[in-house]
Amino acid sequence: MDLKVPKFEKPKLPKITVTRKQALTAAGTAVFVVLIALVGGMLLLDYTGDRQVATFGSHVAASEADLSLVSGKVSSLMRSSSDDLSVAECDAYMREFAAVADYGMRVTAYHRQIVGADRVPEAYAGAQSAYIRALDNLNRAFSLWSSAAAAYDAEAYTAAKENLARADQAWKEYTAAIEDYDRELRIAEEGGWAPPA
Amino acid sequence: MERKDFLPVLAGGLVILVVALVVKPALLGEPIGLVSSGSVPVHNPPVYVPPAPVPTATPFPDDGAAYTRNFRWTAIDGGVQTTQVRVPEALFLAHRAAPQIADPLAWGRYAIADADRPFLEDLARRIAPPAGNPEEDYFRLMNLVFFVQQIPYEPDNSTGSYIEGAIPRYAVRQGVEAGYSKSPVEMLVDGRGDCEDAAILMAGLLDALGYDTVLFRYPEHMALGIRMNEFNPYYARYTPKYFAYEGKHYYYIEGTNYTTIPTGNSTFVGKPFPIGDAGGTGIPGVTSGTPEIIPLRYIPTPNEYRIRPARLPAGGA
């Protein structure tokens, strides 16, 4: 067979003529669009961060409001005299103690779930983590109170005493976590280093 | 501008929306779309649920079958006293049918059991009638102490310690030994008991008169502690022994081991144990040891219970 390579023809591209004015306008427009995108992006990020902190703050506020109610119940119980009570009155006191412990457990578990799900800016991550740790320790302390009340109900006073000793330790860890939270929050708000509490 | 000129602008806008709503959330693990991040289903916050009231126990009837016991003892003035105790049979049987409290720290419940209280108050008033003169309080106290000390001693594993002539079914058995803590009315009906039974009865009687008492538990013995600010009488030939508990001083009182001394002509003089005399028991662990202190009313109380308010983030609610 006699094969022939077809002749390649150079394509004809349309001729574009750009004036100097058009080029400058296009470049200026591009720079303007990029600037707008940058500023807009920064504003959006800033707005998102503020909104996240506000949400976190409102959740901490709700948690603190409920914890103050728990605190009121605890203080009221601790203020009531336990001297010269009959066995029935001692038992009633411990049933009240168990109810307060259960209330504290439910409140701390509820707010831990909400605060734990919050998305916060990186600067607030330490404060959020410390607050969650505080709620976890408080929940553990109330859980041990509940165990102590159950042991008392079973007339196992030594076990009740041991549970309360462990609850005291968990409560101290809660206090330490709240101090960490305050410090972390100060660091986040001041945007830098803060001395240890 | 023509219609075709808008197409690149719309395409650009679409790309931005896809990046913002799909690509970025997918990369950061956020929910895709217009869902706000960080939200969880919020239900109503928990509320306080008070404990359910417990119905008051029905008191045991006074007019039913009852055990009557007569006691004779030497009072602090040397005079012989007698008294009669009547305990409803139903109350006694209820105690016998109740499982033992395994934890000794809870044995104070025996001494201040609500069901026993009316009988102990009545008996305490008869042994130590209220006196107009506060100086007689010491004699009232000692009369109660002497009354209990003179109830015959009988160990737990002796069938003679129980009116049924058999060791109760809820006694705690360890090999050939049996342990059984009697409530005050059981001790009164049986008319005998061991050291812990005596200490529990004495604690119940003194508590009924308003004295602050605890139980002293040693490895081989149990006695009573009575709260006194200071007890150091000039006539005592011993150093009164006390132990501190929650900042208060509790002086040792023996509940058993009342010994009689023959004086000829078949008359006997009692030798009671005075307050603070721990050495007279002759039990080494009591003479030199430190007891576990069991309060009659034990309410487990935490040391840490203050909730600290946390500072709110600026911008928070």
Q: Per-residue pLDDT tens for B189-213?
A: 999 999 999 999 999 999 999 999 9
- Put simply, whether A71 touches B (Cβ < 8 Å) is yes
Q: A70 near A77, Cβ under 8 Å?
A: no
Least confident of A69-73, A130-134, A189-193, B185-189: A189-193
pLDDT grade, residue A1 (50/70/90)?
Answer: low
The nearest CA of chain A is from the CA of B230 a distance in Å of 22
Query: The tokens of A38 are what?
Result: 């940058």
Residue of B nearest to A85 (CA): B297
Please indicate whether, in this complex, the C-beta atoms of A171 and B317 are within 8 angstroms of each other: no
Containing A87, the helix (H) or strand (E) segment is: helix A87-117
pLDDT at B38: 47
Query: By percentage, how much of chain B surpasses pLDDT 90?
Result: 58
Kindly state the percentage of chain B with pLDDT values over 70. Answer: 85
Report DSSP state, residue B85: E
Domains located in chain B, CATH noted: 66-295 (3.10.620)
Per-residue pLDDT, averaged over B105-123, amounts to 95
Say whether A117 and B301 touch across the interface (CB within 8 A): no
Strand residue runs (E) in B200-295: 213-218, 221-227, 242-245, 248-253, 259-262, 268-271, 292-295
Measured CA to CA, the distance from residue B302 to residue A177 in angstroms comes to: 19
pLDDT band at residue B295, thresholds of 50, 70 and 90? very high
pLDDT tens per residue, range B41-67: 567 889 999 998 887 777 777 778 999
Residue A42 in tokens: 């920064």
User: Residue A89 is which amino acid?
Assistant: E
Other Cβ atoms less than 10 A from the Cβ of A43: the count is 10
Asked if A127 contacts B55 with a C-beta cutoff of 8 angstroms, the reply is no
Alpha helix stretches (DSSP H) within B246-302? 284-288
Does the structure show a pLDDT above 50 at B236? yes
| Between B86 and B2, the higher pLDDT residue | B86
Q: What pLDDT is recorded for position A193?
A: 54
pLDDT tens, B257-277? 665 555 555 555 556 788 888
pLDDT confidence of B32, banded at 50, 70, 90?
A: low
Among candidate residues B105, B102, B101, B103, the one with its CA nearest the CA of residue B293: B105
> Is A124 an 8 Å CB contact of chain B?
yes
Across A60-72, average pLDDT: 97
Query: In Å, what is the CA distance from B36 to each residue of A39, A48, B24, B25, B26?
Result: 22, 10, 14, 11, 14
Which contacts (CB < 8 Å, 24+ apart) does range B243-251 have? B243/B216, B243/B290, B243/B291, B243/B293, B245/B214, B245/B293, B245/B295, B248/B212, B250/B213, B250/B214, B250/B216, B250/B225, B250/B226, B250/B293, B251/B225, B251/B226, B251/B227, B251/B275, B251/B276
**Banded pLDDT at B34 (limits 50, 70, 90):** low
Model pLDDT for residues B165-182, shown as the tens digit of each residue: 999 999 998 887 899 999
Nearest one of B201, B114, B54, B120 to A86, comparing CA atoms: B114
Q: Does B313 touch chain A (CB under 8 A)?
A: yes
In chain B, whose CA is at the least distance from the CA of A155?
B106
Residue A121's nearest CA partner among A196, A28, A47 is A47
Which of the residues B34, B308, B312 would you substitute to probe the A interface, choosing the one with the greatest number of A C-beta atoms within 10 Å? B308
pLDDT at B279 exceeding the cut of 70: yes
Please give the residue of chain B at the shortest CA–CA distance from A130.
Answer: B310
Q: Inspect the interface and report whether the beta carbons of A86 and B37 lie closer than 8 Å.
A: no
Phi-psi sector, B105: left (phi>0), alpha (psi -120 to 50), beta:
alpha
Q: Note whether A164 contacts B: Cβ–Cβ < 8 A.
A: yes
Summarize pLDDT for A114-164 with one digit per residue, the tens. 999 999 999 999 999 999 999 999 999 999 999 999 999 999 999 999 999
H or E, element range at B83: strand B80-88
Q: How many Å apart are CA B228 and CA B244, to the nearest integer?
A: 11
Confidence of residue A97 (pLDDT cuts 50, 70, 90): very high
Of B240, B300, B238, whose CA–CA distance to B275 is shortest? Answer: B240
pLDDT recorded at residue A191: 77
What does the pLDDT read at residue A36? Answer: 75
Give me the pLDDT at residue B176, please: 79
Nearest C-alpha of chain B: how many angstroms from A10? 30
Of residues B149, B145, B107, the one with CA closest to residue B294: B107
